[in-house]
Structure 1
Amino acid sequence: MKKIVTAIVLLIALFQSTTIQAQDLLKKTDLSTLNVDNLSANDIAKLKSQLQANNMTIEQAEPIALSKGMAAAEFAKLKQRVQSGNNNAPVNTTKEKESFRKQDPIVNPKIKDSVNSLIFGSELFDNPSLNFEPNLKLATPVNYTLGPSDELQVSLYGVQEFNASIPVSAEGKISIQYVGDILVSGMTIEAATQKIKSAMSRVYSTLASGQSQLSVTLGSIRTIKVTIIGGKQPGNYSVSSLATVYNALHLAGGPGKNGSYRNIELIRNNKVVAKIDLYKFLVNGDQSANVGLKDNDVIRIPAYSQRVTMEGELKRPGIFELKTGETFADVLAFASGFNESAYTASVSIVQKTGKEFKVQDVSEKEFKTYQPKSGDVIKVTKILNRFENRIKIQGAVFRPDFYSFTEGMKVSDVIARAEGLKEDAYSKRGTIIRLKSDLTNEIVNFDLAKALQRDPKEDILLKREDIITIYSILDFREEFKVTIDGEVKKPAEYNYFDNLTLNDLIVQAGGLTGSASKRVEVARMITSEEIDTTNPNKAELFAIEISPESNEQAKNFQLKPFDIVSIRKMAVYEKPEMVTVSGAVPYAGKYALVSKKSKVYDIIQRAGGLTDIANIEGVKIKRPIKASQIEDIQNVNVNLGKKDSIQSKLEKKFKEEVKFAVIPLDWKAIVKNQNNRANVTLFPGDEIEVAIFNEGVKVAGNVLLTSEIPYKDGRSFGYYLDAVGGVDAKGWRRKAYIIYPNGKAAVTNSFLFFRSSPQVKPGSQIIVPEKPEVRKMSTGEWVGIGSVISSLALLIITAFK
């Protein structure tokens, strides 16, 4: 009962129009006129806090509100606003988390500055992905100075509660309900918090006793005006009150073309309050000069006083600004020092005098004392592409490489440093390629064996850049080969070694194949100091017998360089080969050719003969076209000229379109006489095709209707063409032809005025080709022909006069 009474009091106090005073909310009992849209965020926050304090949810308060006349739609709005952001969980009365601060976005598009790109630091301000905007998510700085347009989030939590977002007025005051106006302008957050706490303690007694706590944070941040002089984009800028000097400089694009990066002034109330040297940040990352801005601050960028240019072998070449008293060593630090290829003993400086240029060399010992002048161009060159103390040894030593040279070094010393000679070293001679003073080369020879014995004449004193070569006896040997071919798994050319035998070579070649015979031939070159005209032989031939089963020969034959070994194939060694039978036979499939002269009739009989549905006039062989046949066509010269495409079209047709040749068979003649020529001998890969009897005749090509017409005995060729509507406009009826079921073709024949058409049989196919295109003669061509005829006629008449 106590909870219900408390809820009624809460609803009466809170569900009132926001225009009435707080003390009237407790007296209001009629909720029928309540508009939830008019309730402020503070009203909703109070309702949530008081519901939590009484251990009630908004659902439990619904029947009470409705009984006081509140509309169901309005209560639904109220419920949504109470539950938004907390997922129906009870309202937490502890300190709420600080919300993100709001700040109007400040944007100034950046354009890549290609003109001043060499000036050190310019890339800091024209990079659109880089900025110095303040982080609004960080805690409020304790030294932040409040001013008009700031907004404070004041939150009291504990026994007593209060939440409000209060703006700072133009007079610099905030107004807190029941507390009154408090002047905070010009105060830091820390000072303002103490002042607000003191004022609120007079109204909220638990604040002074510590039973309640106060939190004052910065909500919306005000915008201030700063003026930038001397930047790439000078002018007045509106920035966040949390902004710093670097943020404002970035908005203005940094210093202008002649602006200084090292003497930037921050002017406040007509006084210079800070001088900013951007090099401290660029070189050392020091942001001590990145001070906060205040309203009406002026950032003045004066013109530079001294600039020098650094070129050449530096880690960061460019244009650098100097202060009075800075030396070359300071400029070198700005450029991040020399790179790995730089000549560091001295640098060359091009200076401008009053009349002309001059060059000055600054040595390494002067780097810390020499003070460059404005306009100097300092050039750092590369080191020379040569070595001051290098020698090289190569060849038959264990560690051929470059080594450091010292005065007095001899051949034996560098050989010892290379860990001695290899076993194959040629001890009679070594050579030195030496660089002479005029940069030409000379060769110096020495006896290697005597040099190792410290013979003064042979153990030669070395010089810088000498190249010592120790030869190997293997360098003087010819690389011998032997060849094995024929019935081995890896026929090829192999290296020859001393004492190499035939058996060794066969093993290297992977052994013999299953088709290898016992006969082996070895061809050996003939060598002689004199020419023997009586001997016509170019090679000596050896016939050897081996045992193919064990890869071993009866006699271990010794091979010599450049021998050619031929392993012969067995006289009879052929794997069974297949042909295919398809169509109207009982046992279609693949059949092995058991005889070299297997005939069509034999294979069809093995397949069970022809079935009842077979077309005896539809037996044919499809024989695959071999690559060798295509090569033969390519090698034939049809003498059509280089520009004629018939030859290439013919080759392309055989390569890409025609996969096999068709051999038509006369099955009746084969059955009647098996010795008939129609009973052809089969080749491996052939396919015997037996057509199924078909009573139709197919008509295709350039006809009005491609169709299959039922066969009628005695009907002519023209009957079937007429049955499909005749030929179309492009059809060439005189050249129509027929393809019979066995693959044989026939054409229409003409003799004088008589034309005979081929006989039509069941299962045939009639094809009407397209007429060739004939170019019509133009009017001018006809006129030309007429003129020629007229001239000829006049010539004839004149001749017979």
Structure 2
Amino acid sequence: MKLRLLILSTLFFSLSTQAVTPSPAQIEQFKKLPKAQQQALAKQYGVNLSNLSNNQNNKQIDNPDVVNERPDQKSRDSQSAGDEVTETEIDKGMRSQNQLKESGTKSVSSETDDSEKAQPKRKLKPFGYELFAGAPSTFAPATDVPVPHEYVLGPGDTVKIQLFGKEYKDYSLTIDRNGTLILPETGPLQVVGMSFGEFKTFINEQIEQKVIGAKANVTMGEMRSIRIFVLGEAYQPGAYTVSSLSTIIHALFVSGGVTNVGSLRNIQLKRKGKIITTFDLYDLLLKGDTSKDLNLLPGDVVFVPPVNSTVGIDGEVKRPAIYELKGETSTQELIKLAGGLLSTAYPNASKLERLRSDGTRTVVDLDLSKRANKQKVVKSGDVLRIYSVLDEMENVVSLNGHVHRPGRFSYKPDMRLLDVIGSITALKANPDLDYGLIVREEPNVRTVSALSFSLKKAFSSPHSAENLALQERDKIYVFAADEARKLDKLLARLKAQARLDEPAKVVNVAGHVRYPGNYPFTQNMTVADLIKASYDLQLETDMNYALLKSKNYRQNITEFDVISFNNPADLNKRLSPADKLYVFSINDEREEQFVDLINEIKRQTNKQNQQQLVTINGEVRFPGTYPLANNMSLKDLVAAAGGFTESSFMNSVNISRFNTNLKDKSEYSLIKLDLDSDTLNTYQLQPRDSIVVNKIPDWRDHETVKLLGEFKFPGTYVINKGETLAELIERAGGFTNEAFVDASIFTRSYLKEKEQALLADAERKLKRELVSAQINAGAAGSSETILSLLSELEGVEASGRMVIDRKQLLSANDSVELRSGDSLIIPRRNSAVSVIGEVYSATAQVYTKDWDMDDYINAAGGFNQIAEGSDAYIIKANGRVVGNTGWFSSSDSIEPGDTIVVPTNIDPVPTLSIWRDVTSIIYQSTVALAAVAAL
């Protein structure tokens, strides 16, 4: 058993690797194995059990592949794909038409589609040669096909004769060179020249006559081979040995087919130097007719002559290609060769491209709907182009955009807008009912224009003019309320129609609207219509001032009109093509929106066109320069500037007017204009006017001062003009019992800004000194000092402290007049003395009556290495600075709340003389911050 499995395993391995069909005995041996072992062996060696089991019963007859792909076919295909194709004028027309067809398939509601890409140029190929797109590998025609009765027997053929009846005999006999077949029962029989049908009848007659009680069954065995020649424009011409059943087509396939310069319509069969027949492959390819595909005899020659006349046909036909002509051919016959016209063909606009005798090309227009043109004879080298019908439908209107069922509708006379849309249910959710468009094409000039409509008005009054009448080819656009309008394609077409005397029918709205941008100019369009096109104004829109810009292209002048949305006459103002409406927010600056506009006005300024700008400053919300509108009044300019501020002086304004004769004289005149309602409305502005709106005298916004610390009622107080610090302290209820009045910290905002600038200047100088010290050799000590100073400056915020003594806090006559932003801090009583600066342990010491400065410094660890001990000084509790010796010489004793400061030695940086003032600012700020932190 194991041996048998081993043998079968070997057998299967050889079968899987060599693909050899097993013999019936081997199959039977395999079938005797258990099913599980059969499946295991089949799985192991990749054998299909179903094929194996059906091998004997369902033997397939496979015709061998006689041709493979030609070696040069791929290269020719790649070359043809990459070759430059000469494009004629007709090609351009065909390509343009294809582009129109492609664009017609796109959604017409998409107005932002990119420009269509150029269609690839099609190169016509000769018809029929793909049949032979291969090279011969072998020619082994199937031997198991039935033999036709007409087959003529000859020397070398083998016949099989079975005798049955009285006895059974089986013969396989070959016809000898003399055409004789020797059958033992009958003797020699002369059979050469007989057809196979005649031979069967002849044998049966012989057996009946010479063998009693026997009958014969006659079949063909192995048939003879014949030698033929395939010559001319065959792919591989030469001599071939083929089956005696072979025909002209077989011979062509054996040789690999016909080359691209060979004729498909004049293939000749020659026998003994004479043409027996000509075979037209078009009959096979187009009709399936093989009636002239004769069987070959030994020595026959299949000759392929060069191709003769050829013509091309392209466009709306079923098989565009280059066809070989056979005799005179009309355009109608050529179209028939190409399979006929497509349903989209428009033969009335056909063109025939023809080579002329002088080497140039010409084009002949053909209306192939006429009989005479159908019979026109084509010549070699002609190319017939059949154009398609236009994709643009006639007698239709289309509906696009925010609707459930967009598409085309049949146009009917007296058709109106609601005949297409029907009802509100035809629209998707959240439509814009106030603005829609109808794009209409003028039939005589093919230019487009736009009409706007309101579905809200049309639905409410279906029998009124709001339900617009439609025309053929109208395109209706319905927009969504929550999406920007997609009009790029339409706007581009409108701009392309612009001419010198006719600007593009496009208007623009910019600024504080829902959807700013360009919109089609519609018939009788008003400012209100443009606002509807942009959906609507946004919240907080300035309703009193908008600016309408119009351009006079011939004179290169830009003109302006002031628009008030509260004025019905302004809303109904008619627009012109290329107008632009500027809409502003009531709370936003306008300068950014006017930058380009002002620059444009300045560029247009010349002798004939004065600079149309006016300026307003002072107490208006948005001071600046504005375009001068037509008949612009002072009220209009104030509205452009956002209106008066709360502090505006309303009795008068100052106007500076520029006067010139535009030749040799100019001057400014100053005008003080009394303000009243009539003056505001009627006073007309001129170019370059400058208006200043004053502030109400003694106008003051809320000025506040902060009182922090030990007050009975600390907080932020609004002060009156001229109020002193003592008066404010009295209003705050005075001090608490814990107040350390002598340690008050009074700060002022403008002093803080001044000190902060001084700190920034010191930081810049230190960084410059640091770079210099690092460049110069031997300046390591200087670098360390500068780094130490920079670290002290880092993050320091000036306090703006001003020294105030007790008398100024308590006496109204001697006190300080307050300013907005002042701050007074009164800390609690403090019995400590602080030591800060360049000591080893900066700290606060309990006040000791008999101690001097040196005692407190020693208690803080003494001077460190970079201290400038001789310049140590005292910051008194009230902020006054007194020196120990030198430039602050004083004999003041140290008291509770004082701060001793040991500054840094700046001798390594002799150029930094500012540092002494900076040190005072730093330590004053430190003391102030410490006081605030202790509150």
What band does the TM-score fall into relative to the shorter chain?
A: 0.3 to 0.5
Structure number having the greater helix percentage: 2
